[in-house]
């Protein structure tokens, strides 16, 4: 399974070496993050951006911290063996 990169603006090569681009799937929003995990399972690595900008109504969008909290408290995925 690929690594997951959650960031609303940046690309992989802005954070990691360009040679690693093919190792990642990119999601841009909290909702895309949740959808990805539900449909693909837990990746072996997640890169969380904290600030995910504004939503479609120009309100502060749920951030990377909200995505991490969803994963731990709401996803029903057993994380004890990580």
pLDDT tens digits, 31-80: 999 999 999 999 999 999 999 999 999 999 999 999 999 999 999 999 98
Tell me, yes or no, whether 36 lies in a domain.
Answer: yes
For 12-26, the pLDDT digits (tens) are 999 999 999 999 999
Average pLDDT of the chain to the nearest whole number = 96
Q: Which domain holds residue 34?
A: 3-74
**Res 1 pLDDT > 90:** no
If one counts the domains in the chain, the total is 1
Tell me, yes or no, whether 38 lies in a domain.
Answer: yes
Tell me, yes or no, whether 80 lies in a domain.
Answer: no
| Strand pairing report for 3-6 and 24-27 | parallel
pTM to 2 decimal places: 0.93
């Amino acid at each position: 399974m690929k690594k997951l990169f959650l960031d609303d603006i940046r690309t992989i090569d802005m954070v990691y070496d360009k040679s690693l681009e093919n190792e990642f799937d990119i999601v841009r929003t909290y909702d895309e993050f949740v959808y990805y995990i539900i449909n693909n399972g837990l990746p072996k690595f997640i890169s969380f951006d904290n600030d995910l900008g504004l939503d479609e109504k120009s309100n502060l969008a749920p951030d990377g911290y909200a995505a991490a909290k969803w994963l731990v408290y709401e996803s029903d995925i057993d994380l004890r063996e990580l």
